[in-house]
Chain A
């Protein structure tokens, strides 16, 4: 670096730049939070859906699956599983319920979580709600 570029200038860029962009980021966050009702499908969040989200978290589903592309890459995307399963919450529940305790020999296997009927319904309704979030047309196709 040339001598004309002093440490004082570098320091000012650091303080000025980071404060400016931090404030801008906060401003954009406020704007985003205000605009979310248009895309986040919040009208679908019922008590059952909120309960289902808790079941999703309590069983660490995100440790294998992705949801809107975030999570682990070991098992299928579930942000659009409702559509992939023919818009049937019953089909989702049936799949989760039917997982064999000892897994499927040699294959990636989903654990048997022994969920109650209420928990299964909550989870399925939560996935249905997630499917309704407008995520800039992602995923590209039904396979997630």
Chain B
């Protein structure tokens, strides 16, 4: 089986980079987990904050690589034309990869304050805010890469077939670029600073990224199930409608306790309580169309990832989000391990898994076959279960730690100091670390699955 459009193959580069950076992210995750219980592990060479920057920044960068690769694969096929410029896609790939590598290496090699000094953070200060730690020049680089990418994808869509999937994906990508610009606004007023910081963070992951997620998932589901596009597009519209209707004012659940007016306690609680709905609809949608499938696609692994994305994003973003989203609950859970638990499963379930879904679907085709040999798929499905179960337990142990933290530090009549509480939680952190190692093993098996060949004759069954 060959690609419908030659230019789609540029996605392969992006997917390989994404997986490589994913490995780096998880290795630093394991280091961080260990530092929670072995406080001076790698200290002072790699302090916790540095390892955390590497962990979270690698996540963001590899997901962006994944989104870009997914777009380069999907957009030509949906638009029914070649990509506007393969050359531009390749140039931007190398710029982004080198810039990303330099940024992450600089975190590890230079003390952060020194990095701020070298890169001229005094001229336009944007550093030192959570997830947006990149030097200002790095942020400018990200903007340039994303604009070039949008030009490439936008030109392809505008002169091709404009499907619902294309348009919703493009809206999500444009939103991603626009809201990132708030990363350059760092006022002296801490409350204003925090308020608009969420314009990047919340409006990304609980806003426009959901458009990207839903359109990628819809694309893969059309391909593997053969279900009528009309039905899928109707679902897609209503899911992203609910995502924005709940998620825009749902931003208010971050405005409870940062110095903003108290009406946000109500608005944030009510609207963010609706945020699980689009994720639940996503689950119904995925199972519904798989049940109605008109063909049995040989890529079973891709279908498993697609269903897994729907379920795990509902659990991680929907259920674990709702757990602490009501203002009276959040009063006690704000800034505890409960937040960490939710963050881990939501990012994995929604964004990691959707990228792995489209990689699972597209990578075999880019390697010249409709699906991988069954033996390779079985290995891939093992990695699915190991990573997913690993993440479920990371989340459960962090939730256990969080509940105890809330009780010991905030709810009891004799609240204990932060560090005294942390020491009592050590057993939960150790178990989280074990779950993290299971996740890492799953990831190693995932990578091995790309190198598993079929037996003689096995190939025939899967190429048509």
Chain B 156-204 interface residues, beta-carbon cutoff 8 Å to A: 164, 186, 188-192, 194-195
Q: Bound state CA distance, A34 and B249, in angstroms?
A: 18
Given contacts A13-B238, A14-B240, A138-B331, contact A40 B190 (CB under 8 A): yes
Contact with A along B23-67 (1 / 0, CB 8 A): 000000000000110111001100111101100000000000000
Choose from A18, A57, A60 the contact partner of B248 (Cβ within 8 Å).
Answer: A18
Contact with B along A44-66 (1 / 0, CB 8 A): 01000110011011111111101
Choose from A21, A57, A74, A104 the contact partner of B125 (Cβ within 8 Å).
Answer: A57
Q: Bound state CA distance, A107 and B410, in angstroms?
A: 23
Choose from A134, A138, A143 the contact partner of B418 (Cβ within 8 Å).
Answer: A143
Contact yes or no, B48 A72, CB < 8 A: yes
Report the count of interface residues on B (CB-CB < 8 A).
76
Choose from B128, B195, B237, B245 the contact partner of A11 (Cβ within 8 Å).
Answer: B237
Contact yes or no, B259 A40, CB < 8 A: yes
Count contacts between A and B, CB distance < 8 Å: 231
Choose from B113, B128, B133, B234 the contact partner of A1 (Cβ within 8 Å).
Answer: B234
Contact yes or no, A143 B52, CB < 8 A: no
Find chain B residues with CB under 8 A from A33 CB. 192, 195
Find chain A residues with CB under 8 A from B164 CB. 11
Q: Bound state CA distance, A45 and B125, in angstroms?
A: 17
Identify the closest chain A residue to B112 (Cβ): A60
Choose from B194, B261, B267 the contact partner of A39 (Cβ within 8 Å).
Answer: B261
Contact yes or no, A21 B129, CB < 8 A: no
Q: Is B20 an interface residue (CB 8 A)?
A: no
Q: Bound state CA distance, A28 and B248, in angstroms?
A: 11
Contact yes or no, B113 A106, CB < 8 A: no
Contact yes or no, B410 A1, CB < 8 A: no
Q: Is B340 an interface residue (CB 8 A)?
A: yes
Find chain B residues with CB under 8 A from A41 CB. 259
Q: Is B415 an interface residue (CB 8 A)?
A: yes
Contact with A along B245-282 (1 / 0, CB 8 A): 10011011001111111101101000000000000000
Contact yes or no, A36 B192, CB < 8 A: yes
Find chain B residues with CB under 8 A from A75 CB. 48, 418
Contact yes or no, A135 B261, CB < 8 A: no
Looking at the assembled complex, report how far the CB atom of A32 sits from the nearest CB atom of chain B, in whole angstroms: 6
Q: Is B464 an interface residue (CB 8 A)?
A: no
Contact yes or no, A143 B415, CB < 8 A: yes
Find chain B residues with CB under 8 A from A7 CB. 230, 233-234, 237
Find chain A residues with CB under 8 A from B128 CB. 56-62
Interface centre among A39, A135, A136 (most CB of B within 10 A): A136
Looking at the assembled complex, report how far the CB atom of B434 sits from the nearest CB atom of chain A, in whole angstroms: 19
Find chain A residues with CB under 8 A from B259 CB. 36, 39-41, 68, 133-135
Find chain B residues with CB under 8 A from A76 CB. 417-419
Looking at the assembled complex, report how far the CB atom of A63 sits from the nearest CB atom of chain B, in whole angstroms: 3
Contact yes or no, A63 B50, CB < 8 A: yes
Interface centre among B237, B255, B337 (most CB of A within 10 A): B237
Q: Bound state CA distance, A10 and B245, in angstroms?
A: 13
Q: Bound state CA distance, A72 and B164, in angstroms?
A: 39
Contact yes or no, B261 A13, CB < 8 A: no
Contact with A along B414-429 (1 / 0, CB 8 A): 0111110010000000
Q: Bound state CA distance, A135 and B417, in angstroms?
A: 21
Q: Bound state CA distance, A63 and B35, in angstroms?
A: 13
Looking at the assembled complex, report how far the CB atom of B295 sits from the nearest CB atom of chain A, in whole angstroms: 22
Contact yes or no, A106 B40, CB < 8 A: yes
Contact yes or no, B39 A108, CB < 8 A: yes
Contact yes or no, A109 B40, CB < 8 A: yes
Identify the closest chain A residue to B49 (Cβ): A63
Find chain B residues with CB under 8 A from A101 CB. 44
Choose from B52, B116, B245 the contact partner of A58 (Cβ within 8 Å).
Answer: B116
Contact yes or no, A103 B235, CB < 8 A: no
Contact yes or no, B35 A108, CB < 8 A: yes
Identify the closest chain B residue to A57 (Cβ): B128
Find chain B residues with CB under 8 A from A45 CB. 188-189
Q: 14 extra interchain contacts, Cβ-Cβ under 8 A, other than A39-B191, A59-B128, A64-B49?
A: A17-B241, A36-B191, A53-B190, A57-B121, A64-B48, A66-B335, A70-B194, A74-B35, A103-B44, A104-B39, A108-B39, A109-B39, A109-B44, A138-B257
Query: Chain A residues in contact with chain B, CB under 8 A?
Result: 1, 5-7, 10-11, 13-14, 17-18, 21-22, 24-25, 28-29, 31-33, 35-36, 38-42, 45, 49-50, 53-54, 56-64, 66-77, 101-109, 111-113, 129-130, 133-136, 138-144
Q: Can you list 8 pairs linking A and B with CB atoms under 8 Å apart?
A: A21-B249, A36-B259, A49-B188, A64-B52, A77-B418, A106-B40, A141-B415, A144-B409
